[in-house]
Structure 1
Amino acid sequence: MGQLIISNKEKCNLSYTCVRVCPAKAIKIADKHAQILPDRCIGCGQCVTMCAQNAIEYRSEIENVEKLIKTNSRVAAICDPAISGEFTDVADYRKFVAMIREVGFDIVTEMSFAVDLIAYKYKDLVDNFQGKHFITTKCPPVVNYIEKQEPELVDNLAPIVPPYIAMSKVLHSRYSDDLKVVYLTACTAAKDEAKHFYHTDGHVDGVLTFIELRELFAKKGITENTVEFSEFDPPLGRKGGLFPISHGLFQAVDINQGLLEGDILITEGRTNFLQSIKEFKSENQLNQHLDLFYCKGCIQGPGMSQGGKKFTRRSQVIKYVNKRMKAIDAYQWRLDIEEFKNLDLSRSYRTKDLRLPVPTKVEVDVILADMGKSKREDQLGCGACGYPTCSEFAVAHLQGLTDYEQCYTFSIKKLRSYVNKVNASNEKFKKSQEALVKSEEKARQEEGLAKEAAETTTAMLNKLRAGVVIVDSNLNVIEANQRFVEMLGDDAKEIAEVIPGLKGAELKSLVEFHKVFSTVLQSGQDVLDRDVDYNDSIFNVSVFTIKRNEIVGGIIRDLVTPEVRKEEVIKRAQDVIKENLETVQQIAFLLGESASKTEKTLNSIIEAQQLGEHGTGK
């Protein structure tokens, strides 16, 4: 049928309220949400009522009950007496009886008769005391808790079935073994407990909470205005109707527990329940039977509508019982009690020891130290984690039920550390950003300077009378001046109009002497003053390395042009002077003759050549 209590990961906000109220350590914080451990859960439903986000809910049996009603079998409803405290909005109890019939139930009974019946069984335990004190078993969470968490007290559980199982036995006995039975209650734990009696003559086929019953009414459009009065089917109970409130069970058999003569300790509520169990187990001074409600009476059970006021509900139950007592036929009631007093209302229990191993103090101290709580003053015990003390939290952590982030102070310290790291990172990022801005500014300045330098270089290259070209390792032009373009002719000029400076053009497609450039690229050795034929001219080509094996530059001069021819004559005459000077110096050293005469003669030749060219206008 599925898990009884279920959490919703999407709705959980990790308030740890559920952990705080769970008496069985059946809630584990994992994967960023509260997870219910079904084996440990006692079904008390307190986590359901306490979760403000409605992130925890119990298993619905509405669909199952609707299927039962649609079968050919007769279906009976057993109403917990707390129903009068639930339907305070209904003017007369005969109206909600009629509304239940309208849902489709063939028989509608009240559990109060069964309470009257088992109250006599408890009276026998009290009256025939043989030195062994008992714990009443009318409350399913109490039984679950003792079986799972206090197994040594299982023998102290009263061997008596809960009232709704007793009532189911009565119905099966009176009506039919094939009768289907649905229990209407304020208790969520009964949904699972009923399964333990499924193969007995008191089997219950479905359990609906009052909240689910209201949902059925709404689904079918049933209100008190749509039905007429109807009475409960017999057998009817008397004081058993007080069952949902403290003392109610023993009031049914007129057992009054005064402070001086009473030997039954009656208490309710989670805190009192846990404390009474603890003292019953360890304190010999108690020496009393325990009559316990886990909730603050059934009238405050998790299956009741939320927001109901305890004392208003208590008052409603008492008023209802008083009214019923006046109407019930006492003689018939005694006959009914006599008819069913010999029913087997006994039960047995199973030990399901789910206590977790208790860690040593050394292990606990290690966890506290890891959390930064090694000093006593750091162990605040604020309770925000769901555990009353830091030590208990550490124990739960060692038992695999918690993680460090569940601790408020640990999380705050971790958050502060994280914030400090983030602040440091932000400061570092800010400095990096400032450095980047400066770097970008510097880069822009350098880019501007580079652009200016490139423009200056281009302008300077275009001022040269010689052609200049720079190529990369693939002989693609990186830069070429205007003179080089003009030297190559009209085709190159057309290309330059589209691609200034012939940038990216292949040198192979422009000149035939590109092999000189390839040679310098491969060898790294400059080639200077090489004369090559180009169309109707003679080019003087000098190729030199700019970046070895990657970039080379070339200076090309057209020797046919007058200015270049003049420069070439002068250059070559100067080369002759230099070479002859070296020769003359060597001869003068050998013959003792002065080299000045040769120098003057050669200089006069140069001057005469220059004068001659000037005179001819060349």
Structure 2
Amino acid sequence: MLYNHGMNSFEKIPLVTTIKERCRVCYTCVRECPAKAIRVADAQADILTARCIGCGNCVQVCGKHAKKAYDSTPELRTLMQGSDPLIALVAPSFPAAFPHIPQERLVGILRAMGFSRVCEVSFGADLVARQYRKLLEGSPQAHHIATTCPAIVLYVEHFFPDLVGALAPLASPMVAMARVVREYYDRNAKVVFIGPCIAKKEEARTSGNGQEIDVVLTFEEMLRLASDMGIFVGRVKASPFDPPLGGLGGLFPLSRGLIQSAGLMEDLTSDDIITTDGRHGFVEAIKEFQAGQCRPRLLEILACEGCIMGPGISNDDPLFRRRQRISAQVRQEMELLDRTQWEADLERFSSLDLSQTFAADDQRIFDPSRNDLEAILKQLGKFSPEDELNCGACGYGTCREHAVAIYKDLAEHEMCLPFVIDQLREAVRNLAQSKEELAQTQETLMHAEKLASMGHLAAGIAHELNNPLGVILMYAHMLMEEHATDGPSVREDLEMVITQADRCKNIVGGLLHFARQHKASFSFVSVHRFFEDLLKLMIIPENIEVRIVHENPAAEVYMDRDQIIQLMINLLTNACHAMPDGGVLTLRSQCGDHDNRFSVQDTGCGIPEEHVKRIFEPFFTTKDVGQGTGMGLAVSYGIAKMHRGDLRVTSCTDAEAGSTGSTFTVILPRNPAGPTQADTRENPAQAAPVLHAD
């Protein structure tokens, strides 16, 4: 009879699944998965069941226990409710799984759980070992890959379908022992395998169309189920394994165990037999086997570092401690083995069909073209080989492997740590810039709102004061004429009244100018001529040196010439007042692609830091009483805002920190006219330029 290992009508078991609530997307599982069966999407590492080979590496390395092996205990509970006898097949790796449970107690636990027979799989391993020896002796020119490890079989079927024909056509010890016990005891019995392997669950599903092994439990599942059933090691009766008993087949859980059990030799000079294990070793071995660089007669490989390191073992003992326990167990069994009975059993089942066929289940995803790969690398910020750090943080060995995984829809760009760090840095820079712009906008809005309110108030006050001031001035002049011949004291008093009334009139004029709407009249103005005309309107004290700096003297600026002249006169006047003992007054123009800037810099005493924030508020002044109205900078700020621009100040009062003085900078956009003029025409009733500030 030829047993088939191909796919049957049932879906593949999800050997491993992800508990999404626990997954922290650390990519450790991606790094450890030899089949690349983990897809990272939407910040979750999901298992692709079709590609999974059940090696269990992801289960073992996940520190958050977010990877969960398929639970078969419900299936066993269902079998326990039936009337068919239950036979337990225990993998020979059990000493590594249960270091504190004697063999007889372990068998006692299984009998207490309801198993009528408890057999060790080592006898099946003995039969399989003999078949491997016959296979090599009967086909000296053939090249085979051992099929004792179901994860290796799945890996070849999925990703090296061309090598399926090289798989040794022999059943695994588990399947072999299942066939033995069905003949030895009861063909209708339900057979349950208990071992360290997750991939065995899929092997049981496919072998013999699922009719040979009914349920596969891991050692961990067995202990958990026994505990749930209230069965504990101290309360059970010790009992030996049921026959047939095995010999050197107990070495199968160790790397090279098959070789010794079969009486073969790994001759390093001939390379007829090569053995390796672990996720790195078996992948490289199969690749080289396909490439023809490694073509032994038998390639004996295990997905784990021996079955003793399988994911179904829950203790934390290291490799060589587990190995020592297996060696000690086999030595003890060989000392107690009834060799006559063992030979008789081997002879009895020598004609048992241990054949197995395998079918390809191609899960390969073809690699991207060179252009597609380069495009993905550029998206990751890898523009040259020097940019490829190959740090492995993404879970892939190289940046190119990561790019290939992205192309295959197995990975995301965000898995690249340097790429994410660069993005975060850029985001932080943008956020800081946005925060600064938001703070400036908020400050501007608050200032504009304050100016608007004060503009309305100023307009009302100015209109109310204008008429009384006019009357006062008129009668003061009349009194001056009537008392022209009176004494000097009378004339001095009248002159004082007229002077202060004129001062009040100027303040009222400033209020009206601050409050009124002025229609902007934009035109192109030569920067060089603008500065010349500006200085002609000013009387600069002789003890002040004027310096003019043009980055582009031939530049033209689109602005309302008269209003900007008024703004600059206010700044120049303040600068001169800041240098009563003389100094340097610097006028500078900078015309760029995005804006134009005029600055007025003095070498005066500077403005205290606590005053800078209030410098553009109406009626705020740092001058002595009677020296300023506090309206000049407020009006200037409103003019700058009406141009969709800004007026900024920097100042230094500490001579030790550098030169003292202040710099006022007018910032005008390249083309402010369109929206501003439209606003002005459509809203002639608005009270003040500040209403156009934002």
TM-score, normalised via structure 2 length: 0.63
The CA distance in 1 between the partners of 2:165 and 2:277, in whole Å, is: 21
1:321 aligned partner: 330
Please state how far the C-alpha of 1:436 moved relative to its aligned partner: 3.0
Aligned with 1:83 (options 85, 89, 94): 94
Secondary structure of 2:141 counterpart: coil
The CA distance in 2 between the partners of 1:452 and 1:191, in whole Å, is: 92
Equivalenced residue count is: 457
The CA distance in 2 between the partners of 1:455 and 1:13, in whole Å, is: 71
Please state how far the C-alpha of 1:222 moved relative to its aligned partner: 2.2
CA 1:285–1:195 in structure 2 vs 1: closer, same or farther (change >3 Å)?
closer
1:357 aligned partner: 366
Please state how far the C-alpha of 1:255 moved relative to its aligned partner: 2.2
The CA distance in 1 between the partners of 2:426 and 2:209, in whole Å, is: 60
The correspondence of residues 228-307 of structure 1 with structure 2, limited to 5 A, is 228-260=237-269, 263-284=272-293, 286-307=295-316
1:542 aligned partner: none
CA 1:351–1:285 in structure 2 vs 1: closer, same or farther (change >3 Å)?
closer
The unaligned stretches of length 5 or more in structure 2 are 1-10, 467-694
Secondary structure of 1:233 counterpart: coil
CA 1:196–1:450 in structure 2 vs 1: closer, same or farther (change >3 Å)?
same
Read off the aligned partner of 1:176 and give its amino acid letter: D
1:121 aligned partner: 131
The question of whether the paired residues in 2 share the 8 Å contact of 1:28 and 1:35 is answered with yes
Read off the aligned partner of 1:313 and give its amino acid letter: R
The question of whether the paired residues in 1 share the 8 Å contact of 2:271 and 2:296 is answered with no
Q: Deviations over 1:244-267 (max 9, x none)?
A: 001212222322324346621111
Aligned with 1:132 (options 142, 162, 166): 142
CA 1:50–1:285 in structure 2 vs 1: closer, same or farther (change >3 Å)?
closer
Please state how far the C-alpha of 1:11 moved relative to its aligned partner: 1.5
1:335 aligns with 2:344: yes
The CA distance in 1 between the partners of 2:395 and 2:183, in whole Å, is: 47
Q: Which moved more, 1:191-200 or 1:272-281?
A: 191-200
Read off the aligned partner of 2:123 and give its amino acid letter: F
Please state how far the C-alpha of 1:277 moved relative to its aligned partner: 0.9
Please state how far the C-alpha of 1:437 moved relative to its aligned partner: 3.1
The question of whether the paired residues in 2 share the 8 Å contact of 1:198 and 1:205 is answered with no
The CA distance in 1 between the partners of 2:97 and 2:459, in whole Å, is: 89
Please state how far the C-alpha of 1:450 moved relative to its aligned partner: 8.4
Read off the aligned partner of 2:100 and give its amino acid letter: D
2:576 aligned partner: none
The question of whether the paired residues in 1 share the 8 Å contact of 2:40 and 2:411 is answered with yes
1:219 aligned partner: 228
The question of whether the paired residues in 2 share the 8 Å contact of 1:49 and 1:306 is answered with no
The correspondence of residues 39-188 of structure 1 with structure 2, limited to 5 A, is 39-90=50-101, 92-188=102-198
Secondary structure of 1:374 counterpart: coil
The CA distance in 2 between the partners of 1:222 and 1:452, in whole Å, is: 97
The CA distance in 1 between the partners of 2:460 and 2:40, in whole Å, is: 65
CA 1:67–1:33 in structure 2 vs 1: closer, same or farther (change >3 Å)?
same
Q: Deviations over 1:199-256 (max 9, x none)?
A: 47x6111010011111112212322211121000111101111110012122223223
1:23 aligns with 2:28: no
Read off the aligned partner of 1:169 and give its amino acid letter: R
The CA distance in 2 between the partners of 1:296 and 1:452, in whole Å, is: 93
Read off the aligned partner of 1:85 and give its amino acid letter: A
Please state how far the C-alpha of 1:285 moved relative to its aligned partner: 5.6
1:33 aligned partner: 44
The question of whether the paired residues in 1 share the 8 Å contact of 2:248 and 2:330 is answered with yes
The CA distance in 2 between the partners of 1:450 and 1:106, in whole Å, is: 105
Please state how far the C-alpha of 1:338 moved relative to its aligned partner: 0.9
Secondary structure of 1:3 counterpart: coil
Q: Deviations over 1:61-92 (max 9, x none)?
A: 111111111211100110001111100022x2
The CA distance in 2 between the partners of 1:322 and 1:455, in whole Å, is: 116
1:189 aligned partner: 199
1:615 aligned partner: none
**Larger Rg belongs to:** 1
Secondary structure of 1:412 counterpart: helix
The CA distance in 1 between the partners of 2:70 and 2:463, in whole Å, is: 82
Read off the aligned partner of 1:228 and give its amino acid letter: K
Secondary structure of 1:172 counterpart: helix
1:410 aligned partner: 419
2:408 aligned partner: 399
Please state how far the C-alpha of 1:357 moved relative to its aligned partner: 1.2
The CA distance in 2 between the partners of 1:167 and 1:88, in whole Å, is: 24
The CA distance in 2 between the partners of 1:236 and 1:454, in whole Å, is: 116
Please state how far the C-alpha of 1:326 moved relative to its aligned partner: 1.7
Please state how far the C-alpha of 1:273 moved relative to its aligned partner: 0.5
2:652 aligned partner: none
1:384 aligned partner: 393
1:14 aligns with 2:25: yes
Q: Deviations over 1:521-576 (max 9, x none)?
A: xxxxxxxxxxxxxxxxxxxxxxxxxxxxxxxxxxxxxxxxxxxxxxxxxxxxxxxx
The question of whether the paired residues in 1 share the 8 Å contact of 2:254 and 2:306 is answered with yes
CA 1:456–1:182 in structure 2 vs 1: closer, same or farther (change >3 Å)?
farther
The question of whether the paired residues in 1 share the 8 Å contact of 2:126 and 2:246 is answered with yes
Please state how far the C-alpha of 1:292 moved relative to its aligned partner: 0.6
The CA distance in 2 between the partners of 1:66 and 1:270, in whole Å, is: 34
TM-score, normalised via structure 1 length: 0.71
The CA distance in 2 between the partners of 1:214 and 1:455, in whole Å, is: 97
Secondary structure of 2:55 counterpart: coil
The CA distance in 1 between the partners of 2:14 and 2:206, in whole Å, is: 15
Secondary structure of 2:403 counterpart: helix
The CA distance in 1 between the partners of 2:443 and 2:456, in whole Å, is: 20
- For the aligned residue pairs, the C-alpha RMSD in angstroms reads 2.3
Q: Deviations over 1:130-150 (max 9, x none)?
A: 311111100001000001101
The question of whether the paired residues in 1 share the 8 Å contact of 2:373 and 2:404 is answered with yes
The question of whether the paired residues in 1 share the 8 Å contact of 2:107 and 2:240 is answered with yes
Identity of aligned residues (%): 38
The question of whether the paired residues in 2 share the 8 Å contact of 1:99 and 1:223 is answered with yes
Read off the aligned partner of 1:356 and give its amino acid letter: I
Please state how far the C-alpha of 1:154 moved relative to its aligned partner: 0.8
CA 1:76–1:450 in structure 2 vs 1: closer, same or farther (change >3 Å)?
farther
Q: Deviations over 1:88-126 (max 9, x none)?
A: 022x21111111111121111100000001100000112
The question of whether the paired residues in 2 share the 8 Å contact of 1:5 and 1:36 is answered with yes
Secondary structure of 1:115 counterpart: helix
Q: Deviations over 1:304-327 (max 9, x none)?
A: 115221111111111111111122
Please state how far the C-alpha of 1:373 moved relative to its aligned partner: 0.6
Read off the aligned partner of 1:319 and give its amino acid letter: A
The CA distance in 2 between the partners of 1:48 and 1:456, in whole Å, is: 87
CA 1:455–1:307 in structure 2 vs 1: closer, same or farther (change >3 Å)?
farther
1:516 aligned partner: none
